Amino acid sequence: MGFNVEEYAQALDKFIIYMEKIPDIINPDTQVAMDSLCRVLRIARVEADFYENLGYEEDKWAGRAVFYHNGECDPKRSIVCEEWTEEGNLMRYAISPGQEEPDWDETEREKIQVFLKALLTFNGRTRMQQVVQRLNFRDQELGMYNMAWFMKSANQIISQREIGQYAGCQFNMRHFSVINQQIGRERGSRVLGKFIRQFQELLSDKELVCRISGDNFISLFRKNKLNLVMNYLRGSGIVYDEKEGKRVWVTTNAGYYMIPSNCDSAATIVECLGVAINMARNVRKTDYAFFDAELMQGIRIGKMIEANMPEALEKEEFHVYYQPKIQLKDYHLVGAEALCRWFRNGKVVAPGEFIPILEKSKLICKLDFYMLEHVCRDIRRWLDEGKEVVKVSVNLSRVHMGDMDLLDNILAVVDKYQVPHEYIEIELTETGTDVGVEHLRTLVSGLRSQGISTSVDDFGTGYSSMNLIREIPWNVLKIDKSFLPDKSDDDRQKRVMFRHLVALAQDMDIECIVEGVENVDQIKLLKESSCYLAQGFYFDRPLAVTEFEKKLAEIRS
């Protein structure tokens, strides 16, 4: 039979030129591109089957793509060709003649082979693009979309002016390391993958979830799915052993952002979500938080504070205020705590506003040493002026833990001003976890051996463990004001706890002071409990240095 060579040449040209314009072989235009060539070669069907080869299972049929079909075909007489893709998948191409068509002759078979090669080459090119996409936009471990994909997709939604219909969410598995420990890393990864796949099932095509890193994810979904998403992320059981029906309960910390329609960049979404999840995880210690105007204001202030801090240190805008510590037996001033006040543009900023921000960026370490230096300078001056001097305690943030030179650095400052060590006390808050306890012990012992005392600040507000008190040689326990019953509060339990706390400290030879003492009833309770040291507004607020110096002068009189 044969075919018309000229027609074939034209059809082949047409096929190649047309295909060049098609971005992807799985495209309705492929049918049009192949039409002339298939007619010349009496082809009724061109298709490919995909098999997933996962390495540990048999090849799984994953799907079929039909590139061309024109009437009934005869699959028994197909010309077949197989190819492995770079991801280890198998593709089986089949070209079949029409049912009623006679067999192909040799020449036709040759041309069909050429057609197949062209098809493979073409598919190779589009697949290469997919591979590149995969490397760029997929995370290699879970095969999930990554952050680059999130940015690209979010920006696309923004440019289509549809972002106002979306909410964003960033989430992090809680206690994932514990799950890994309990069921092993491999199963842990499976749980992670499954948790995300089930999350994906809640989403439609235009919604997405991407992996930021480890067990951190970010998602964009329609606002009307908020409840669905929140319910799922609050906690879901994930089966990791089908046979035995074993499952773990996965919960998350999440930050949400109801994106306004005027949002103009993906970076803003990411930033707001970061703030919201941080608020949930680290500040409020809740399952989730929404980004709102209050948080926005917080960011602005935070940025302002961070940006102004170096200049403020240089210009000495931070002032040391001294809050007296009082001996209840004779109401004498026996010590003071140095507290920081920031004088900014004629206003006083309280530490509660800037310390948490400085703690995030380690700038707090600079401030603490600035405070220590200024306290030592004041004490040196008082000594030189022949004034009565009392021990001053300086707050050191937990952020310092892990700084191996901390002890040496403290001593260097104290000795630079030749301040006798008995005049300095270092206040440290309890650590939230066991992490750093070893370092804390080394530091506290080191200071003690140098004659510098240390105190546990805000005792009872954190995760105080009795071991922390027993294992570390503290000099002073500062009992937090939350242990004091206030006037409206006739809390017997609080009184009992308070008494026991004081007795415990005394049994362990640790000095006890109560902060936040505001009224006579509280002083009575202190005395009844044999605690004779107090600090609080009842006596004095934190005082500017000149005011405090007047108090020092009264000691002698």
- Which residues lie near ligand C2E (CB under 6 A)? 323, 339-340, 350-352, 355, 364, 367-368, 371, 395-397, 427, 457-458, 481, 515-518, 535-537, 542
Distance of CA 70 to the CA centre of its chain: 55
Min dist. Cβ of residue 316 to Mg ion (A): 22
Min dist. Cβ of residue 443 to ligand C2E (A): 15
218 binds, among Mg ion, ligand C2E, none (CB under 5 to 8 A by kind): none
Max intra-chain CA distance, the chain:
127
Tokens 């703030």 found at = 275
Nearer Cβ to Mg ion (73/371): 371
Nearer Cβ to ligand C2E (283/350): 350
Rounded to an integer, what distance in angstroms lies between the CA atom of residue 428 and that of residue 395?
Answer: 6
Q: Which range of residues in 126-134, 303-311, 414-422, 453-461 is near Mg ion by CB under 5 A?
A: 453-461
Q: Which DSSP category does 282 fall into?
A: I
* Total residues in contact with Mg ion, by rule CB under 5 A: 5
| 308 contact partners, CB below 8 Å, separation of at least 6 | 344
Min dist. Cβ of residue 159 to ligand C2E (A): 46
Min dist. Cβ of residue 429 to Mg ion (A): 8
Q: What share of the chain is helix, strand, coil (3-state, %, to 5)?
A: 50, 25, 25
Q: Give the residue from 202, 247, 248 showing the smallest Cα distance to 228.
A: 202
Nearer Cβ to ligand C2E (34/349): 349
Q: Which range of residues in 45-53, 200-208, 456-464, 530-538 is near Mg ion by CB under 5 A?
A: 456-464
Nearer Cβ to ligand C2E (271/518): 518
Tokens 């997709």 found at = 153
Nearer Cβ to ligand C2E (140/488): 488
Min dist. Cβ of residue 331 to ligand C2E (A): 16
Nearer Cβ to Mg ion (219/429): 429
Nearer Cβ to Mg ion (192/452): 452
387, 554 contact by CB (below 8 A): no
Binding pattern to Mg ion, positions 358-397, x when CB under 5 A? -------------------------------------x--
313, 370 contact by CB (below 8 A): yes
* Side chain identity at residue 438, one-letter code: E
340 binds, among ligand C2E, Mg ion, none (CB under 5 to 8 A by kind): ligand C2E
Min dist. Cβ of residue 428 to Mg ion (A): 9
Q: Sign (positive/negative) of CA torsion 532, 535, 538, 544?
A: positive
339 binds, among ligand C2E, Mg ion, none (CB under 5 to 8 A by kind): ligand C2E
364 binds, among ligand C2E, Mg ion, none (CB under 5 to 8 A by kind): ligand C2E
295, 276 contact by CB (below 8 A): yes
Min dist. Cβ of residue 377 to Mg ion (A): 20
Strands 476-479 and 533-535: unpaired
| 471 contact partners, CB below 8 Å, separation of at least 6 | 437, 441
Q: Is 402 left (phi over 0), alpha (psi -120 to 50) or beta?
A: left
Rounded to an integer, what distance in angstroms lies between the CA atom of residue 152 and that of residue 220?
Answer: 12
Min dist. Cβ of residue 497 to Mg ion (A): 18
Residues of the shown chain interacting with Mg ion in the complex, contacts defined by CB under 5 A: 395, 427, 457-458, 515
